[in-house]
Structure 1
Amino acid sequence: MEPRLPELPEPPGPADGAHPPEGPYLTEGPHPPEGPYLAADEELAEALLALAVPFEEVNGLLAARTRLARDAGLRALFEETLRAQAAAVGTLGEPSGLDRDWPAGVADGADGTGLATLLLVALAPYARAHHRALGVPPEVTRSTLADLGRQLAVSRWRGRAGLGNPRWLTLHFRGELFQLGRLQFQRRRLTGADAAAARAAGIDEWSLQLHIPDHCGPLSPGACDRALDRARAFFPRHFPDERYRSACVFSWLLDPQLAHYLPEGSNIMRFQRRFAPLVRPDGPAAPEDTNPLRYVFGDLRRPLESLPRDTVVQRALVDHLRAGGHWYVRGGWIAL
């Protein structure tokens, strides 16, 4: 039986300590109608910093808001997407009424238009209201939504402007994913080959999916223990109708070939040994060499022979590929 989802809370208003919404989305009048809105300059700057958006991004995003206010066609597209995303807060899976890919005019592009970032900022009051309705602690809300700022910083480290994957962050803002210390946990039902692998392992298809955010410190055993302990307490408390008895992870960190290069006591190998394997029934996975390279080195435009080899992980990734090998994403699970 599918877990019952909580109802979408009312949009935040003055009773929640928020400013009255400006509406319908971008106007500046003193008595606007209720609805999702995008704050004006000073308030917008504060909202960006509250979501851990790096200081060097703020002026560009303020300029993007000005461009949006002046372009009626782009503004209509932005408002339509924001309306659909606001309605999807509190749901699981793909938001209804949205295509799988974001509309081209709303997604952040290489020119740093920043519209996807602004859309998520406008969605943040709805996300916070939903968390409050669930009784989620404020510190969990802050760390979860602050992934917006981290993703912007990571995108810049990887050599591009804007958000590389804005749809990923809708999971955070809809209440589908929560950051609990070092790890992130996504409420989801496995599908396709992943579900078949779960059934073969004797675990339920409803399983938390574990994600390992980069640039969040070492993946130490203690940090992982604390995150898993928090997950064991968090989900029964805030989602009592959803019975998650396991957590699954799909990552290059579980590639068994790493054991040929890394010390047995390294954080990665100790993380890997936590999980029983999930074997997909459709045969071996295709190589995903860019996955670990992007995670470790960032900018993939550099040739392989020019990548740094300063750490044991860097040397492992580069030497394996230069020897003609490949890296693979593998699945694993752990009981909760």
Structure 2
Amino acid sequence: MNVKDLLRAHPFWLEHFESRDGVDLVLPADLPAALLRLAVPHEDINQVIAARPEPGGPLWWLAERCVHSLVSTMGSLDSPPMFPELPELGPYFYVYVYLAALPHTRRYHRELGIPEEVSWATFTDLGRNMAVHRKRHGTGGLHAPYWFMLHARGLLYELGRLQFNRGRFGGTAVEGAPVGPGDLVLDVHVPDFHGPLTPEACDESFERARRFFPRHFPQEDYRVMTCASWLLDEQLAGYLPAGSNIVAFQRRFQPLDRFEHSDVLSFVFGGDAADPARLPRRTRLERAVADHLAAGGTWYGRQGWLSF
């Protein structure tokens, strides 16, 4: 494979990577143990090991530059370009990029005094998103490989049931809202495969975030937390009980922008969303989503805010 030929179809990326010398890749000596600690699904372990890039080869060259892109922007709110999703690289290429970046991220965490348990809880999102890939596609791979850039660059942290990442507000200005474009915000994320979204678990996560970020990032004055998700679509309240976890979660937030969220079927149904006309109705949530679509409705995402 000639990686540079592949990237010529993406000239922006070719220029970005060719301008970097790369970081020497150091991979764990015990790959199976390292992968298991990152919660990589057992059924993926052998395939990941078999896909290890060859030192000095074209994928090695690209991986070195991907790692440099992460390390050179460690902790910065100014993001490098998102990693491209290129099937030609194979389903596990970016797993090795993040394995090689992990020691750099761990060092950054230690310098900030971030507890080990928070670091490792955050890093296991790598394995979780491999499970999400299999849930959605039925095959091995890493879902949305650019997503873990937030973790590897020291921006995102898992604090109990929820994840929070340091960032700037990217929505539009809304009259009366205490946040505008470019303002510091903590983005709230709800990871999959992490148990019920109970009010108690969310309360604990929000309280942890309110202690965690002033302690470890005292130079950043966060006043608002934001969330952009299909979970905040107010139409759900018309289908779900008033006491449901989802309705309780969305009521925490004051609404901002609404946007089309075509991925709601993948979030709710995974691979079963392949035929929207035959969606299963095994749970109350599945029935709500499927019935709304069958009646000609549209699901949206919503961005919302709450005070830090």
Q: TM tier, shorter chain?
A: 0.7 to 0.9
Percent identity between the two aligned chains: 45
Is 2:265 the partner of 1:303? Answer: no
SS of the residue aligned with 1:88?
coil
Listed one character per residue, the Cα deviations across residues 204-224 of structure 1 (whole Å, up to 9, x for unaligned) are 621111111111110100000
Counterpart position of 1:39: 28
Answer yes or no: is 1:164 the counterpart of 2:143.
yes
Q: Is the 8 A contact 2:44 2:140 kept in 1?
A: no
Q: Give 1:140's aligned amino acid.
A: V
Structure 1 alignment gaps of length 5 or more: 1-23, 26-33
Q: After TM superposition, where is structure 1 displaced by more than 6 Å over at least 4 residues in a row? A: none
Residues 1:82 and 1:101: Cα distance change in structure 2 (over 3 Å)? closer
Q: Paired residue for 2:162?
A: 183
Q: 2:136·2:270 contact (CA, 8 Å) conserved in 1?
A: yes
1:117, 1:296 → 2: CA distance? 25
2:178 alignment counterpart:
202
Q: Distance in 1 between matches of 2:88 and 2:307?
A: 40
Distance 1:106 1:202 in 2: 44
Structure 1 residue 237, shift from structure 2 partner: 0.2
Cα contact 1:36–1:86 (8 A) shared by 2: no
- 2:130 is equivalent to residue 152 of structure 1: yes
Greater mean alpha carbon deviation, residues 126-135 or residues 152-161: 152-161
Instruction: Give the root-mean-square deviation of aligned CA atoms.
Output: 2.2
Matches within 5 A, 1:68-83: 68-69=53-54, 72-83=57-68
**Matching residue's letter, 2:282:** D
Q: Which residue number corresponds to residue 231 of structure 1?
A: 209
Residue 300 of structure 1 and its aligned partner are, at CA, apart by 5.5
Q: Deviations over 1:14-68 (max 9, x none)?
A: xxxxxxxxxx99xxxxxxxx9441234xx12221111111121111111111xx2
User: In 2, Cα distance between the equivalents of 1:103 and 1:329?
Assistant: 23
Give the CA deviation at 1:71: 6.8
CA distance in 1, matches of 2:99, 2:88: 13
d(CA) in 2 for partners of 1:230 and 1:327?
A: 31
Q: Aligned pair 1:64/2:51, yes or no?
A: yes
Shift of 1:301: 5.2
Alpha-carbon spacing, 1:301–1:321, altered in 2? closer, same or farther (3 Å): closer
Q: Which runs of 5+ in 2 are unaligned?
A: 1-20
Q: Give the direction of change, closer, same or farther, for the CA distance of 1:190–1:106 in structure 2 (3 Å limit).
A: farther
1:334 equivalent in structure 2: 306
Amino acid in structure 2 at the alignment position of 1:46: A
Instruction: Name the CA distance, whole Å, in 2 between partners of 1:59 and 1:118.
Output: 14
Residues 68-77 or 269-278, more deviating? 68-77
Q: Is the 8 A contact 1:106 1:115 kept in 2?
A: no
Q: Is the 8 A contact 1:53 1:149 kept in 2?
A: yes
Q: What per-residue deviation string (whole Å, max 9, x for no partner) do you get for residues 144-190 of structure 1?
A: 00000000011111124211211110101111110100001010011
Contact 2:24 2:64 in 1 (8 A): no
Q: 2:70 aligns with which of 64, 76, 85?
A: 85
- Alignment TM-score, normalising by the size of structure 1: 0.79
**Structure 2 letter corresponding to 1:75:** W
Structure 2 counterpart of 1:59, one-letter code: N
Aligned residue runs from structure 1 range 210-249, under 5 A: 210-249=188-227
Q: Would you say the 8 A contact 2:224–2:305 is kept in 1?
A: yes
Normalised by the length of structure 2, the TM-score is 0.86
What amino acid is aligned across from residue 210 of structure 2 in structure 1?
Answer: R
Shift of 1:195: 4.4
**How far off its partner does 1:85 sit?**
1.9
> How far apart in 1 are the matches of 2:73 and 2:151?
12
Cα distance in 1 for partners of 2:149, 2:67 equals 11
Size of the aligned set, in residue pairs, is 285
The residue type equivalent to 1:154 in the other structure is V
CA contact under 8 A between 1:178 and 1:186: conserved in structure 2? yes
Higher strand share: 2
Q: Match for 1:91: what amino acid? A: S
